[in-house]
Amino acid sequence: MKYILPTFGALTATALFAFSSLSTPVAAKETSSRSDTFRQLELFADVMARVRNEYVVDVEDSELIGDALNGMLQSLDPHSSYITAEQFKEMQVDTSGEYGGLGMEVTTESGVVKVVAPIDGGPAKEIGIKAGDYITEVDGQSILGVSLSEAVERMRGKPGEPITISIVRGDEDPMEFTMTREIIKPRNTKYEIKDGIGYLRIPQFNEKSAPSMIDAIAALKSDFGGRIPGLILDLRGNPGGLLDQSIKVSSAFLDGGEVVSTRGRKADDTQRYNAQKGELVKGVPLIVLIDGASASASEIVAGAVQDRGRGIVLGMTSFGKGSVQSVIPLRGGRDGALRMTTQRYYTPSGRSIQGTGITPDISVAAIPDDGNGNKRIRESDLPNSIQNELTSEETENSETEITIDFPPEGFNVEDDYQLQKAIALLKDGTYAQTLASLTQG
Amino acid sequence: MSFAKRFLFTATALGLAGLLWQVPQAKTVSPEDQKTIEQLELFAEAFSIVRDNYVEETSDNKLIEGAINGALEALDPHSSYAPKEDHAERQKTARREYGGLGIEVTMENELVKVNYVIPNGPADKQGLKRGDFITAVEGENVRGKSLNDAVEGMRGLAGDPINITVLSPDNTRREVVVIRETVSGRAVRHRVEDGIGYIRIETFNHPRLAKDSKAALEDLKAELGGSMKGLIIDVRSNPGGRVDQVVKVTGYFLDGGEVFSSRGREAEDTRRYHAAAGELLPNVPIVVLINSQSASAAEIIAGALQDRGRAMVVGRRSFGKGSVQSIMQMDDGGALRLTTERYFTPSGHSIQGLGIMPDVLVAGRPESKNTKDRFRESDLQNALANPEGLILEENFDEMDFPSEDWPDTEDYQLAKAIELVKSPEFSARLARKNTPLKR
């Protein structure tokens, strides 16, 4: 088999050689590790040469390289992937997403597509798909082992088109759900008055989240005749979305100061995001509700409120997706783009959200104790997920200290135990004291 | 350092390395090669972006490994790359192979019954005999367990002792300590069933397989006094193995002629494999038993005997793995496993994605959705397509299912195969059977 190499071997070297036109002198001691790198690239080129010359059918070079880039990125973490030139073009034209979808946030775990959270009002949530469900088939076709982007692609389609997906939930037999694809419209912030307390629900962070929340707060204020006695911000099941919206939402509760920072590999890559001056609900007691399906932008808001001592975070530990992906076009996008994790989110006190998530100040479960502490799948359970800087031991410890308030056996889940607890805390006069003790600790 | 500067830096180093590597010619580059060069450049560029900008330090090895695997996995499910360490690791685990007792067992009266004791195996050394029952493993009763669970309980690492309770047919009970050994098991088994020769080939992945098969056939011939009325070749759940072995074994049943051909991308890459002249069992009616897990070499033997009109094939449509992988040693010591050819039966049809369709469809279990659904090559992600674009579906209306009350312990497919091979119409049916590939 060796005989093929000379011609293509030369080709390889030529390809890399082309870079030398960019040459500037390089330090001698760098060369050894650099030549290791070169050997790795050479190995890659050799394998590609073998495939090109000997594979049983003709393979398009560009496809091969695209798949290689995708493999490289996916080996890093589940949120990094390669975007083909066509996909990149689509992204440019159509950022609003006028395709029909099922309304859920998904990720992959060991090659299986997993539901992070179904979005309020979307077809998936309506039909009863739950956070933590595994999707094994789309329209009778297995999607085991396919990449996340491919799986998402297969679930998308024309609005109004039906789709059947197979779901595996726990030890139960696979279930089939048939639903109709819908255009997933950005959901606005909803508000109501519950038991004399203002209640805000942000189902996801899209471009309308902050403006509609500001409207909602104004409406609540007038409903209460000026002063809101207490406010609950519900971020449960909110899979995240736009970073700038999470900053704006946080600004409603903070009078300037840091909301979140993002940090890259190098210390000088740090970027800080601050709240705007002027708080909307100054002095109003605040509770933020989170659960295991609160991810990313939701965790930024909860983390900021918690770290800045502005309110109490109640519920269950959040998902722990604290990484930022950048889209880096290759040759202006003509050769596609790299979607790659480049930074991590840090709360104002400098905690990384990645992996650990936000631990609530008061842990309250939604469903009665099932013996597992109602463990939910979180980012740290994903294969290849980026580790938090804390050692696993430390993480473990902080996990075990938590005492969770479970609803009593037979509690009707519809009655929303977490919300009840939040309302009680705002009304029983212990809020200020509790908040003060948390801030001290 | 800015990103652009860092990239330049990497590129420079790579360029230098290229210089050290010394390439003589770069003048005559075809447009085709130019495209490849551009793609490799693109890769190198993306590689250095990832390397410099990913949120954590990356390892070059890991990145390249991910890239190679990404490219190969997208090709087909059988192409892969194993780096050097993997190689070594695999050898280590191979040495700590699971040990067994050297027996073959079935379930009878809720007890584990010894059907065969491998000569000189660990159980043989402790005097276990065919017909013995195992009633307890490590003091735990086997009664009420499934055969799988019972066997699982007997497995362990080679060298570890195991305590079993043995009940002999004469009703004596004793405790025996057996030291587990790595038992390769017999790849070939044979027996006389109802006056018919039966040979079961578990795998073709054994260098002595053809020899063992030949010995087994000779044995059967001797036992049946040279007047064998029929032969069953059972390759159910046989995952395939070595091409040289399957060609030899198939050759025992054919008097020369083609067994299969393998074809690469170019027409001139075609290689034909022929049977040796001279049959071992001329004129003996043959049935080949296959199921959905008969793959690769097992499909070659079934396809050859079917196409050449030498045997009737009974069972379920086979797996459909009709591709050949070549193992290529890379310079870094790793091994590239790449699909380079496809198998074709003598009539010129590719097995890939199709499998072999039995002449007589017989299911092993009573009719149900579960029985009908079988996992095959074409269900694998990125499976290589059939080059002729063919699709084969089993016709369930034609399929012979055992009745609901058919006992799990009885082999329905084998029973049907024996019935067929013994039937007086066998040769007439063989002569007029359909063209091998039902479209």
Quote the minimal CA–CA distance from B152 to chain A in Å. Answer: 22
- Are B75 and A35 a contacting pair at CB < 8 A? no
For residues B91 and B109, membership in a common domain is answered with no
For residues B195 and B126, membership in a common domain is answered with no
pLDDT reading at B93 higher than 50 = no
pLDDT reading at A31 higher than 80 = no
pLDDT reading at A30 higher than 50 = no
What is the C-alpha radius of gyration for chain B, rounded to an integer number of angstroms?
27
Establish if B437 belongs to a structural domain. no
Give the pLDDT band (50/70/90) at residue B331: confident
Q: Is B332 a catalytic residue?
A: no
Q: What is the mean pLDDT of residues B133-158?
A: 78
pLDDT reading at A20 higher than 50 = no
pLDDT for residue A118? 83
Question: A70 contacts in B (CB within 8 Å)?
Answer: 70, 74
pLDDT digit string, tens, across residues A51-89? 998 999 999 999 999 999 999 998 998 789 999 998 888
Flag whether residue B277 sits within 8 Å of chain A, measured between CB atoms. Answer: no
- Are B29 and A11 a contacting pair at CB < 8 A? yes
pLDDT for residue A372? 56
- Min mean pLDDT across A234-243, A414-423, B67-76, B109-118 is at B109-118
Helix (H) or strand (E) holding A441: none
pLDDT for residue A346? 95
pLDDT reading at A127 higher than 50 = yes
Question: A140 contacts in B (CB within 8 Å)?
Answer: none
CATH number for the domain whose boundaries are A96-183: 2.30.42.10
pLDDT for residue B391? 83
Partner residue facing B14 (CB), from A38, A43, A47: A38
E-strand ranges in A150-252 read 162-168, 175-180, 182-183, 190-194, 197-201, 231-234
Q: What percent of chain B has pLDDT over 90?
A: 44
Domain range list for chain A: 96-183, 190-440
Q: What is the mean pLDDT of residues A113-141?
A: 86
Flag whether residue A48 sits within 8 Å of chain B, measured between CB atoms. Answer: yes
Q: What is the mean pLDDT of residues B122-143?
A: 85
For residues B55 and B167, membership in a common domain is answered with no
Give the pLDDT band (50/70/90) at residue B434: low
For residues B75 and B143, membership in a common domain is answered with no
Give the distance, in angstroms, between the CA of residue A258 and the centroid of all CA atoms in the same chain. Answer: 21
For residues B269 and B363, membership in a common domain is answered with yes
- Are B10 and A37 a contacting pair at CB < 8 A? yes
For residues B130 and B279, membership in a common domain is answered with no
pLDDT for residue A23? 30
pLDDT for residue B28? 64
CATH number of the domain at B308, please: 3.90.226.10
Q: Which residues 287-306 of A have a C-beta within 8 angstroms of B?
A: none
For residues B238 and B151, membership in a common domain is answered with no
Flag whether residue B13 sits within 8 Å of chain A, measured between CB atoms. Answer: yes
pLDDT reading at B177 higher than 60 = yes
pLDDT reading at B106 higher than 80 = no
Flag whether residue B384 sits within 8 Å of chain A, measured between CB atoms. Answer: yes
- Are A142 and B379 a contacting pair at CB < 8 A? yes
- Min mean pLDDT across A38-47, A309-318, B412-421 is at A38-47
Establish if B268 belongs to a structural domain. yes
For residues B103 and B88, membership in a common domain is answered with no
Question: A80 contacts in B (CB within 8 Å)?
Answer: 54
pLDDT for residue B89? 52
Flag whether residue B328 sits within 8 Å of chain A, measured between CB atoms. Answer: yes
Tell me which residue of B342, B273, B341 sits closest to B308, measured CA to CA: B273
- Min mean pLDDT across A353-357, A383-387, A426-430 is at A383-387
pLDDT digit string, tens, across residues B33-62? 888 888 899 999 999 999 999 999 999 999
Q: Is B296 a catalytic residue?
A: yes
Round to whole Å and give the CA distance between A12 and B194. 65
**Residue B177 pairs with which residues in a beta bridge?**
B163
Q: Which of B126, B157, B179 is the last residue of a domain?
A: B179
Partner residue facing B35 (CB), from A61, A144, A146: A61
CB A383 within 8 A of CB A342: no
For residues B239 and B329, membership in a common domain is answered with yes
Higher pLDDT residue, B205 or B329? B329
Establish if B21 belongs to a structural domain. no
CATH number of the domain at B118, please: 2.30.42.10
Of the residues B262, B321, B350, B378, which is catalytic? B321
Max distance between CA atoms of chain A, in angstroms, equals 86
Flag whether residue A13 sits within 8 Å of chain B, measured between CB atoms. Answer: yes
pLDDT digit string, tens, across residues B224-260? 977 789 999 999 988 888 889 999 999 999 999 999 9
The total domain count for chain B is 3
Flag whether residue B3 sits within 8 Å of chain A, measured between CB atoms. Answer: no
Q: Which residues 399-428 of A have a C-beta within 8 angstroms of B?
A: none
pLDDT for residue A208? 87
Establish if B111 belongs to a structural domain. yes
Flag whether residue B342 sits within 8 Å of chain A, measured between CB atoms. Answer: yes
Q: Give phi and psi for A72, each to the nearest 5.
A: -65, -45
Q: What is the mean pLDDT of residues A407-424?
A: 92
What mean pLDDT is reported for chain A?
82
- DSSP for A34-98 reads HHHHHHHHHHHHHHHHHHHHHSSS---HHHHHHHHHHHHHHTT-TT-EEE-HHHHHHHHH-SS--
- Are B40 and A48 a contacting pair at CB < 8 A? yes
Establish if B23 belongs to a structural domain. no
pLDDT reading at B25 higher than 60 = no
Establish if B20 belongs to a structural domain. no
Flag whether residue B23 sits within 8 Å of chain A, measured between CB atoms. Answer: yes
Question: B37 contacts in A (CB within 8 Å)?
Answer: 11, 14-15, 18
CB B237 within 8 A of CB B245: no
pLDDT for residue A96? 43
What mean pLDDT is reported for chain B?
83
Question: A18 contacts in B (CB within 8 Å)?
Answer: 15, 37, 41
Higher pLDDT residue, A242 or B345? B345
For residues B172 and B238, membership in a common domain is answered with no
Q: What is the mean pLDDT of residues B342-360?
A: 94
Flag whether residue B31 sits within 8 Å of chain A, measured between CB atoms. Answer: no
pLDDT reading at B405 higher than 60 = yes
Partner residue facing A40 (CB), from B64, B71, B338: B64
Strands A134-138 and B323-329: unpaired
pLDDT reading at A269 higher than 60 = yes
CATH class assigned to A190-440? alpha beta
CA dihedral of B121, B122, B127, B128, whole degrees rounded to 10: -80
Q: What percent of chain A has pLDDT over 90?
A: 47
Of the residues A307, A323, A352, A361, which is catalytic? A307
Flag whether residue B341 sits within 8 Å of chain A, measured between CB atoms. Answer: yes
For residues B90 and B103, membership in a common domain is answered with no
Which residues touch A421 (CB under 8 Å, ≥6 apart)?
A314, A362, A364, A405
Which residues touch A157 (CB under 8 Å, ≥6 apart)?
A99, A100, A163, A181
For residues B304 and B355, membership in a common domain is answered with yes
CB B378 within 8 A of CB B341: no
CA dihedral over B71, B72, B77, B82, signed as positive or negative:
negative
Partner residue facing A11 (CB), from B36, B60, B74: B36
Domain interval for residue B75: 3-14+28-95
List the single residue in A with minimal CA-CA distance to B66.
Answer: A72
pLDDT digit string, tens, across residues A172-189? 788 899 999 888 776 788
Q: Is A61 a catalytic residue?
A: no
Q: How many CB atoms lie within 10 A of CB A412?
A: 8
Strands A271-274 and A197-201: unpaired
Give the pLDDT band (50/70/90) at residue B185: low
pLDDT digit string, tens, across residues A186-221? 678 899 999 999 999 998 898 889 999 999 999 999
Q: Which of B114, B148, B179 is the last residue of a domain?
A: B179
- Are A61 and B44 a contacting pair at CB < 8 A? no
Q: Give phi and psi for B137, each to the nearest 5.
A: -125, 125
Give the pLDDT band (50/70/90) at residue A381: low
CB B117 within 8 A of CB B123: yes
Q: Which of B75, B95, B115 is the last residue of a domain?
A: B95
CA dihedral of B111, B112, B113, B118, whole degrees rounded to 10: -170
List the single residue in A with minimal CA-CA distance to B324.
Answer: A56
- Are B66 and A76 a contacting pair at CB < 8 A? yes
Which of B3, B8, B10, B43 is best to mutate for the A interface (most A CBs within 10 A)?
A: B43
pLDDT for residue A10? 31
Flag whether residue A24 sits within 8 Å of chain B, measured between CB atoms. Answer: yes
Question: B46 contacts in A (CB within 8 Å)?
Answer: 69, 72, 330, 338
pLDDT reading at B284 higher than 90 = yes
List the single residue in A with minimal CA-CA distance to B267.
Answer: A56
Task: List helix spans (H) across A94-145.
Answer: 123-127
pLDDT reading at A21 higher than 60 = no
Give the pLDDT band (50/70/90) at residue A6: very low
CB B201 within 8 A of CB B235: yes
Tell me which residue of A230, A130, A248, A131 sits closest to A189, measured CA to CA: A248
Flag whether residue B62 sits within 8 Å of chain A, measured between CB atoms. Answer: yes
Establish if B439 belongs to a structural domain. no
Give the pLDDT band (50/70/90) at residue B87: low
pLDDT for residue B279? 93
Partner residue facing B340 (CB), from A35, A55, A331: A55
Q: What is the mean pLDDT of residues A112-126?
A: 83
Higher pLDDT residue, A397 or A49? A49
Q: Which residues 170-229 of B have a C-beta within 8 angstroms of A?
A: none
Round to whole Å and give the CA distance between B138 and B145. 14
